[in-house]
Structure 1
Amino acid sequence: MSMTAVPAASFPATLLALWRGADFIQKTAIIIGLALVILAVMAPIIAPFDPNSQSLIARLRPPLGFERAKGGYVLGTDELGRDVLSRSLHGLRLTLMLAALGATLGLMLGGVLGLIAGIAGGRTEAVIMAAVDTQIAVPFTLVALFLLAIFGSSLQVIVLVLGLAGWEQYARIVRGEVRRLMKMPFIEAARAAGAGPLRIARYHLLPNIVSPLVVQFTLSLSNIVLLESTLSFLGLGVQPPTATLGAMVGIGRDYMPTAPWIVAAPALMILLITFAVQILGDWLRDGADVRLRAR
């Protein structure tokens, strides 16, 4: 019998049960993650100012409550008089969008190649795994710098570069899980019943590898946030005046001794994103694992 015969309606109930059984840290991460997503989605509405609007008269003003603070600028202003709160909200929106697109692209690329390698075997598997080993052997930051130097820093190129980050991890995980599952009795039974490779992959393999993919996706998501922040910090990410969290930290580092508030808000958001994603990965893994849901 296949291990995938679980009613679809059980998944929301499982998530509710997981929420009830979650500890304090997990619930905190869930709340933080939802709050960050809501802030990112609502950024154009709740941001008090245009994120790129400059006012040199109001430059380097501290947050409200400090001396020289300017009314309306809750988190102060940056070196060009732009509102730090508005730029942080829009930067959060763009950073999360780039991370989600990059992680999804890496999941699709690595997942498909890993699935092909695990099912096909032989020379096809050898070629794919050779590409995986090559990707692992070369530091990806150097690859990203090389690609951005050649093709520029447009949003499309950045998404592609971020999508290439970590695809080899998906490929290795999927290939290993597929090789293991192909030896299971329910796969042999499906083959004996006349199921082809596509049907086996869709109905028997994919549902049983969701759990490790969810964990890897969350790890990849936080790593891509940090990679995008690193590239923006180096000036090779999204170009000014468009705000991302990493770009704000990179520009604000020169003003740390006199205006630390420029860096504080985006750096805190990066920290909260990585914290929430890491904790949520374990929580979602339990909800996505068909073996746990079948018990």
Structure 2
Amino acid sequence: MTIAADPAFAAERRRKPRRADPIQKVAIGIAALLAASALLAPLIAPYDPLAQSLLSRLRPPIGFERFAAGHFAGTDELGRDVLSRSLHGLRLTLALAFAGAVIGLLIGGALGLIAGLRRGWVEDTIMALVDMQIAIPFTLVALLVLSLMGSSLTVLVLVLGIAGWEQYARIVRAEARRLSVQPFLEAARTAGAGPVYTAVRHILPNLVSPLVVQFTLALSNIVILESTLSFLGLGVQPPQPSLGSMVGLGRDYMPTAPWIVLAPAALIVALTFSVQILGDWLRDRADVRLRDR
């Protein structure tokens, strides 16, 4: 028997985590760079994102004839520095997306855990809510809620928080039902462990890996949703910059000053691309069935 055909050798290969390919490495680097830029935006932004200078309005980026000194990415219709606004917009967009993803994780995780450990009408009711969330286009629901309740940051965070909770609920319910029949849980119940102790001590630790992967994938979807709502004027309101609102406000100047839109749009594309690839990489590392393929 050769080494490659040895079952022990094959099992050892399956246990080894899959290494990131070049595209995944680039995406991870971009994600880390964007996260660092968002965190350090107040320190590295060259100008106040709200400071206006009408004498420097609609100046092109560096390399063009009418380039204004110090404004490397150009200025917008009010003379505000596009680079500074993009960095602060990235910071706000990421903060909103992260807060929304955490709320969705808490709601979906709690409901999924209840549905997985309980049977009967409780599980049926929760899964009916999950089916309703999947069936209705959530963007339309978000537009309706923001139109009726206003576009404050609190309402926006809550709307983003209930976007995608059903994915967490489905994952947690499936894993909880699978784990609930395992021998170690039967032994814990026989020893007198209550449902809360069983869920916290034995079930939740086994859900960390799939929830981290889902959290990463959901983050990029929430970034797109927030950018869409802000682009339509129902998200972050001026003069506070977010990536979506910057694209929305700059679309009227596309023929004459496209740099107003290109900088935040490029950040949205880079952010969603890198986070999606990062989520795929984490899924490959967490799922033993996908290793060494």
Q: Indicate whether 1:220 and 2:215 are aligned.
A: no
8 Å Cα contact 2:17-2:285 kept in structure 1: yes
Task: Find the counterpart in structure 2 of residue 233 from structure 1.
Answer: 231
1:130 aligns with 2:136: no
Superposed counterparts of 1:236-255, under 5 Å: 236-255=234-253
Q: Are residues 1:79 and 2:59 paired?
A: no
Change (3 A) 1:291 1:115: farther
CA distance in 2, matches of 1:18, 1:47: 38
Q: How does 1:66-145 map to 2 (within 5 A)?
A: 66-145=64-143
| Structure 1 contact 208–290 (Cα < 8 Å) conserved | no
Query: For residues 286 and 136 of structure 1, what CA distance do their matches in structure 2 show?
Result: 25
Residues 218-259 of structure 1: CA deviation (Å, up to 9, x unaligned)? 121000000000000100001000000011111111111211
Give the letter for the 1:248 counterpart.
M
Residue 201 of structure 1 pairs with residue 199 of structure 2 = yes
Q: How far apart are 1:42 and its partner, in Å?
A: 0.8
Q: In the TM superposition, what are the counterparts of 1:32-47 in structure 2 within 5 Å? A: 32-47=30-45
Report how many residues are paired: 275
Find the aligned partners of 1:133 and 1:205 in 2 and give their Cα distance.
24
Q: Which amino acid aligns with 1:202?
A: V
Pair 18,252 (structure 1): closer, same or farther in 2 beyond 3 Å: farther
Work out the CA distance in 2 between the residues paired with 1:204 and 1:60. Answer: 59
CA displacement at 1:290 relative to structure 2: 10
Q: Quick one: distance in 2 between partners of 1:198 and 1:283?
A: 33
CA distance in 1, matches of 2:17, 2:58: 46
User: Once the 2 structures are TM-superposed, how far is the Cα of residue 203 of structure 1 from its aligned partner?
Assistant: 2.2
Q: How does 1:263-282 map to 2 (within 5 A)?
A: 263-282=261-280
Letter in 2 for 1:97: A
- Alignment partner, residue 7 of structure 1: none
For 2:4, the equivalent position in structure 1 comes to none
Q: 2:164, 2:284 → 1: CA distance?
A: 23
Secondary structure at 1:209's aligned position in 2? helix
CA shift digits 1:33-82 (9 cap, x unpaired): 11111111111111111101111111111001101111010000011111
Q: Calculate the TM-score normalised by the size of structure 1.
A: 0.88
**Kept in 2: contact 1:29–1:275 (CA 8 A):** yes
Matching residue's letter, 2:271? I
Return the alpha-carbon distance in structure 2 between the equivalents of residues 169 and 22 of structure 1. 25
Deviation at 1:267, TM superposition (A): 0.8
Following superposition, the deviation at residue 287 of structure 1 comes to 5.8
Return 5+ residue gaps in structure 1 as ranges: 1-16
Instruction: Tell me the distance in 1 between the aligned counterparts of 2:287 and 2:206.
Output: 7
CA contact 1:77–1:262 (8 Å) conserved in 2: yes
Q: How does 1:7-22 map to 2 (within 5 A)?
A: 21-22=19-20
Tell me the distance in 1 between the aligned counterparts of 2:189 and 2:23: 44
Whether contact under 8 Å (2:210, 2:286) holds in the other structure is no
Number of the residue aligned with 2:144? 146
Alpha-carbon distance, 1:136 to partner: 1.7
Give the Cα–Cα distance (whole angstroms) in 2 for the partners of residues 256 and 198 of structure 1.
56
Q: Secondary structure at the match of 2:70?
A: coil
Q: Give the deviation of 1:185 after TM superposition.
A: 2.1
Q: Which residue in the other structure is 1:3 paired with?
A: none
Aligned twin of 1:11: none
Which region of structure 1 is more displaced relative to structure 2, 23-32 or 117-126? 23-32
CA distance in 2, matches of 1:185, 1:79: 66
Give the Cα separation in 2 of the matches to 1:103 and 1:25.
25
1:257 is paired with a residue whose SS is coil
The Cα shift of 1:210 comes to 2.0
1:163–1:157 CA distance, 2 compared to 1 (3 A): same
Q: Which residue, out of 175, 186, 189, partners 2:187? A: 189
Identical residues among aligned pairs (%): 70
Partner of 2:51: 53
Q: Distance in 2 between matches of 1:95 and 1:266?
A: 11
Determine the C-alpha separation between the residues in 1 that align with 2:27 and 2:17: 13
1:168 matched residue in structure 2: 166
User: What secondary structure, in the 3-state scheme, does the structure 1 residue paired with 2:143 have?
Assistant: helix
**Structure 2 stretches lacking a partner, 5+ long:** 1-15
